[in-house]
Amino acid sequence: MHVLVVPSWYPTTEAPLDGIYFAEQARCLQSRGMNVGVVYPEHQSLRRCAATTLRRKHCQTEWTTDHGIPTLRRYGWNVWWQAPPGLRCRIRSAVRLARRYAERRGVPDVIHAHSARWAGAAAARMSDALGVPYVLTEHFSGFQRGSILPWRRPLVDRGLRHARGLAAVSTGLKEALTARDGIVSQNVAVHPNPVRASFFTRPPEGRPSSPPFRFVTVAGLNPRKDIGGLLEAFAQAFGASNGASLTIVGEGPRRAALETRARRLGVEDRVAFRGRQGRSGVRKALWNAHAFVLPSRHETFGVALVEAMATGLPVVATRSGGPEDIVTTETGRLVPPDAPAALAEALRSMRMRSGAHDAGRIRAHAVSHYGPAPFVRRRHAFYRRACAA
């Protein structure tokens, strides 16, 4: 099976973790015998790029082997990306890349678009150009938040309605998709993202045995993740007590404001902002914790949750869309979003019941539901159905 992947966002030199899970999924499929390639018209922000980036990436097309996957990129700039001309330009660029990809590596059996944000419409055009079917998996929380801009909707709907197979990464996101005209519920599968179970393992030397009880979160510091609400809940739960600490892994525009908030709440000495970490840094933070917490307002899936569970951590998460599929009474607790008092009670309970959750069972649940084997089985059946339709 030869699969060509077109993602709506993907790792770049400047943002190596953006869409990293798309690259890891492609690598997982490749390791299980599939022939996988990626095309990506990479549009950099002119405001954030360095002078060296401008010299190195000047609208050229380049073959790479990113993450071990044959990848064809065309570099460009986000001049009009928030407007119709820029998006249409990116879609045309993706089609040209697909033609060049096929000339070098052969015509794929199926095209896989990740998100209708723009890659769905590109995959529809690529499908016509190459004469092969395409499927689409949706990951974008904008469907749950109702934030699809009106001028984008025709392109979004084209990608969704012409796909030979549709999937969403959670039941909540599926419900948001099927609320759109022309999208029938029984035609949308739920395909959760996988976890790198061989990397996110239980800590080889065990978890810290001395106090305090250590909570950790891995999230972007933006309003959607509601780290401010987590700080409020942590302060309510533990006050001036030194019995618990909180490590925050992630970066974003709200960091300075959140650090100020921690000081105002009087918990700055028990809250550590670690910034953006690579995969190894994230794993180390999980290994050094006793429980994981994700306070999002909207979450299409919750990759960070299953990574934490794969290391054996119990989790506290909000009912924000994706976590409802993931968290069970055996693996943790769910609370409403935007409810610091309920989150504080869950944090207190998690600390009081330290040791009540079985780390081995938590990991086994994560691997059996989200490990590589079930992921590859779902994905292979998805492609076979599209090719046979």
List the chain pLDDT tens, one digit each, 389 residues: 999 999 999 998 878 888 999 999 999 999 999 999 999 998 766 555 555 555 566 678 999 998 899 999 998 776 555 566 778 888 999 999 999 999 999 999 999 999 999 999 999 999 999 999 999 999 999 998 888 888 888 889 999 999 999 999 999 999 999 988 788 898 999 999 999 999 999 999 999 999 999 999 999 999 999 999 999 999 999 988 889 999 999 999 999 999 999 999 999 999 999 999 989 999 999 999 999 999 999 999 999 999 999 999 999 999 999 999 999 999 999 999 999 999 999 999 999 998 889 999 999 999 999 999 999 999 999 999 999 98
On the 0-12 / 13-18 / 19+ scale of CB atoms within 10 A, 171 is middle
Q: Give CA–CA dist 302/251, Å, rounded.
A: 17
25 token code pair: 């999924």
* CATH 3.40.50.2000 domain extents, the chain: 2-194+371-388, 213-369
In the prediction, which pLDDT does 131 show?
97
In the prediction, which pLDDT does 83 show?
62
Q: Are 37 and 63 in contact (CB under 8 A)?
A: no
Q: Are 385 and 38 in contact (CB under 8 A)?
A: no
Q: Is the dihedral of CA 29, 95, 85, 45 positive or negative?
A: positive
Q: Is the dihedral of CA 238, 242, 245, 251 positive or negative?
A: positive
Q: Give CA–CA dist 83/80, Å, rounded.
A: 5
Residue whose C-alpha is closest to residue 72's, from 80, 63, 60: 63
In the prediction, which pLDDT does 12 show?
86
Alpha-helical regions (H) of 266-339: 279-287, 303-310, 323-326
Which residues lie below 8 Å from residue 51, measured CB to CB, with a gap of 6+? none
In the prediction, which pLDDT does 81 show?
52
Q: Is the peptide bond before 212 cis (omega within 30 degrees of 0)?
A: yes
Q: Give CA–CA dist 187/167, Å, rounded.
A: 8
In the prediction, which pLDDT does 56 show?
62
Q: 35-44 and 2-7: which strand pairing?
A: parallel
Q: CATH homologous superfamily for 2-194+371-388?
A: Glycogen Phosphorylase B; (3.40.50.2000)
Q: How many residues does the chain have?
A: 389
Q: CATH homologous superfamily for 213-369?
A: Glycogen Phosphorylase B; (3.40.50.2000)
In the prediction, which pLDDT does 302 show?
94
Looking only at Cα atoms, what is the longest distance across the chain? 65
Rounded to 5 degrees, φ, ψ at 292 are -115, 145
